[in-house]
Structure 1
């Protein structure tokens, strides 16, 4: 009645988006619901059809839901995963038209103006949407109209072609209190509201009510803003003649790197993983993967790292196409090149880690980092060097031995540092003893080796040249060697 314009908008509403996402990966035969914490209570966030038929509804307390349906299967809701799934559906919906936007947390809006004839008309296009959604295991409700508001109203409160004036006022995307007040005034449908005087409505309910009404009727424009496509970090080069020499492949890779690094620089990003795919004339292909120790976008630093992998490629009868893609990208803001710039030795270290990691794996090139603990065994971490940054110094002033090993008992009596003792079949004589340093166990952590109590550590310099780290346990008298200084 109200929307006879030429513009055509489709609203795709997925009423069970969150539960559909979970059940697609792990089907469950029975009542199922996702649960979200609201305040101090756990409430139902999204249900499947079986749970709704059992009398459950959104916002219901989990305890009450289990009383109604003891066989209810629940999982915690993850809104972040639902948002990623909706973004995936937005890309899926581009098959029907190029102008697709996000509608709330569980819907899409499509501007199909001029595109319906490609599917045999609007009815055939809507039928195709329903069929594809059903095959994907998604519950879908559709609305079609000349405005975004009209399409939303029909998807949520009616049928795709239901007259707009017959729909309830809840179809205007108003809050619950406003809809309740309008119904008490006798304005239950959009047709009733459209025929009512506007000035009293504006004074009582504010401009939001009339704005939503005008958007649905086409009196106020409501644009559809599609989400921007993520940048694609990939380039391709087709060669006029097949090549098979390493020098030719390196030259082609250099051209691709220049174009790819320009894309990375425009986005203030750097590549952490690169995949070079070489297509041969016999339609076979080979890949050279390069994982970098730090995000990079400097072609002159990346190109030499490809040489080893390209040397192992079997060119066959020749390579006629090359594709380079950055499959893992991280932020890399612009850096100062003058005073205060990053030292060159840091870049050289990164390149060295990358070269070694290409042979043995980046995870196997490791570094030591200090840890916030006074327990010797917990005072350091061993982490991959490619995924961590070096720290300037170790916390704490007491010196620690370069070598640490599990405590090895020695036969000594008394609490004073031993003047002579046997260790590893050697007889050692103490020349100087420095200490003690008492270390207590960290009571909040369970450690079998430290439950015996405190330890008094001594640094013993022997006449034989050994510089050992010994400790004594007062609560259970005994002496142990745990480390050796350089």
Structure 2
């Protein structure tokens, strides 16, 4: 049976994806930032009709078309949408995959007769895509390269066994070669595929690289090219049914242990770990209860996960009995193998288990941890992030000691100039300086708008008072004054 391939090219995929949900009237463009400039990434028909082109600078485009409506590109969303289209294409053949960032490739060998022939299949594709407000160019041929060439330069069907004759008058740019190579061929008078197909391969190899010969042979069918179908994402779910209903917590935990072993082995085979696991129990009265365990880090250790489920399982109402349970890892992340330390745990896992237990009671989003930030400004030297997402990915730099407690600067009453005062008043307390060390000069970050630091430089001192307080004080040279910014332990 002769192999047949379909190539579908969505020439306006980014813009049409956005316009499907938020339609606009008039010229529209999707923009992409390249360096310090915004350029047109994808246009609708109206924008192309008014003379705009892909790659044009946004400022130039607005000069030509003042009423141009733009939105920023979302490349990840475009890829997900193309993946959805690939799954839709499996209605025609199970061998459907992605072709670059804006196309699909389908191996329809032996499937066209189910749609009364290739012409009927092609019209059905066009009609369905048109109803979805997607414009597409489609080519059908014996090879993947020929189908791609037709979709991009001469949409239609190449009869079986006549690939060379169909592609002959098509431009050399249809061979999926670089623009530089296509330009060089045209300068030599080789404008069509039949022009270069007639030349000896050795001549082409001496003048151009082997990529040109490879693309030519793939298009003509003398060199094979695979069509890789889009693989379905792995499913991490297991279930168990019981011959008799169960209701005891120990029975549920025993069944859960067996399911976890199977689930964790599946995760381990793909070097993945679960971030959220949902336990679903179905009672004899056909009602269902779901328990979701959210983990502080990816995990696939059966024993540790089982312990974390104990509290939630104890709160399940078994009713007249449970006849079926199901376990699914609803959120999965990569988890490569790590060196196990003392006690059988990887470093930091004991803390993660504690965060998971606390999160089951008060919510993981309510547990935060501090993350260092590259800034010499004391208030900006850290930020708080959810405790369940990632670990601290930077080290705390302690070039100069910082107080345990830090608060908004509070003025003190003193007549001292640049050195710490021997006597001063703070918070209605009269204090005497026993010792001091400093200064540490900190300058404001001028590129950030910050009212608290607009006063300019600060000279920080560590001051220990005779009353036992250890203060972090600073002096402002430009507007003489003393302030307390923190307390050491």
TM-score interval for Structure 1 and Structure 2 normalised by the shorter chain: 0.7 to 0.9
Could you give the per-residue CA deviations for residues 337-382 of structure 1, whole angstroms, max 9, x where no partner exists?
A: 368x986773222111111111112232233344444433333333
Could you give the per-residue CA deviations for residues 387-442 of structure 1, whole angstroms, max 9, x where no partner exists?
A: 2435897423433332222222333222354444444344x442612124243332
Name the CA shift for 1:15/1:294 in 2 (closer, same or farther; >3 Å).
same
Of the three residues 20, 42, 45, the one matched with 1:46 is 42
- Corresponding residue of 2:71: 75
- Corresponding residue of 1:321: 324
Name the CA shift for 1:49/1:377 in 2 (closer, same or farther; >3 Å).
closer
TM-score by structure 2 length?
0.84
- Corresponding residue of 1:305: 308
> For residues 482 and 218 of structure 1, what CA distance do their matches in structure 2 show?
76
> For residues 113 and 127 of structure 1, what CA distance do their matches in structure 2 show?
18
Q: How many residue pairs end up in the alignment?
A: 478
Residue 53 (structure 1) shift:
2.7
- Corresponding residue of 2:6: 10
> For residues 376 and 212 of structure 2, what CA distance do their matches in structure 1 show?
64
> For residues 419 and 474 of structure 1, what CA distance do their matches in structure 2 show?
18
- 1:255 corresponds to 2:255: no
Residue 140 (structure 1) shift:
1.7
Relative to structure 2, which stretch is displaced further, 180-189 or 351-360? 180-189
Alignment partner of 1:387: what SS?
coil
CA contact 1:9–1:109 (8 Å) conserved in 2: yes
> For residues 363 and 410 of structure 2, what CA distance do their matches in structure 1 show?
34
CA contact 1:35–1:43 (8 Å) conserved in 2: yes
Residue 282 (structure 1) shift:
4.0
- Corresponding residue of 2:136: 140
Name the CA shift for 1:347/1:200 in 2 (closer, same or farther; >3 Å).
closer
Could you give the per-residue CA deviations for residues 313-341 of structure 1, whole angstroms, max 9, x where no partner exists?
A: 333443333332223222222122368x9
Residue 157 (structure 1) shift:
2.9
CA contact 1:430–1:460 (8 Å) conserved in 2: no
CA contact 2:440–2:461 (8 Å) conserved in 1: no
TM-score by structure 1 length?
0.84
Residue 61 (structure 1) shift:
5.1
Residue 116 (structure 1) shift:
3.0
> For residues 188 and 182 of structure 1, what CA distance do their matches in structure 2 show?
8
Relative to structure 2, which stretch is displaced further, 136-145 or 476-485? 476-485
Q: CA RMSD in A?
A: 3.4
- Corresponding residue of 1:440: 442
Alignment partner of 2:348: what SS?
helix
Name the CA shift for 1:124/1:239 in 2 (closer, same or farther; >3 Å).
farther
Of the three residues 470, 474, 480, the one matched with 2:473 is 470
Alignment partner of 1:290: what SS?
strand
- Corresponding residue of 2:337: 334
Relative to structure 2, which stretch is displaced further, 471-480 or 249-258? 471-480
Of the three residues 237, 241, 249, the one matched with 2:240 is 237
> For residues 29 and 183 of structure 1, what CA distance do their matches in structure 2 show?
42
> For residues 403 and 337 of structure 1, what CA distance do their matches in structure 2 show?
36
> For residues 246 and 45 of structure 1, what CA distance do their matches in structure 2 show?
58
Of the three residues 377, 380, 383, the one matched with 2:382 is 380
Of the three residues 76, 86, 103, the one matched with 2:82 is 86
Residue 19 (structure 1) shift:
1.6
CA contact 2:444–2:457 (8 Å) conserved in 1: no
Name the CA shift for 1:465/1:227 in 2 (closer, same or farther; >3 Å).
same
Residue 75 (structure 1) shift:
3.3
> For residues 488 and 17 of structure 2, what CA distance do their matches in structure 1 show?
58
Name the CA shift for 1:281/1:117 in 2 (closer, same or farther; >3 Å).
farther
Of the three residues 264, 269, 274, the one matched with 2:267 is 264
> For residues 266 and 395 of structure 1, what CA distance do their matches in structure 2 show?
39
- Corresponding residue of 1:367: 369
- Corresponding residue of 1:27: 23
Segments of structure 1 that go 5 or more residues without pairing to the other structure are: none
- Corresponding residue of 1:412: 414
Could you give the per-residue CA deviations for residues 90-113 of structure 1, whole angstroms, max 9, x where no partner exists?
A: 222223221122223321111122
> For residues 473 and 197 of structure 1, what CA distance do their matches in structure 2 show?
81
Residue 23 (structure 1) shift:
1.8
Name the CA shift for 1:284/1:137 in 2 (closer, same or farther; >3 Å).
farther
CA contact 2:153–2:170 (8 Å) conserved in 1: no
- Corresponding residue of 2:405: 403
Name the CA shift for 1:139/1:279 in 2 (closer, same or farther; >3 Å).
farther
CA contact 2:422–2:432 (8 Å) conserved in 1: yes
Of the three residues 93, 96, 118, the one matched with 1:97 is 93
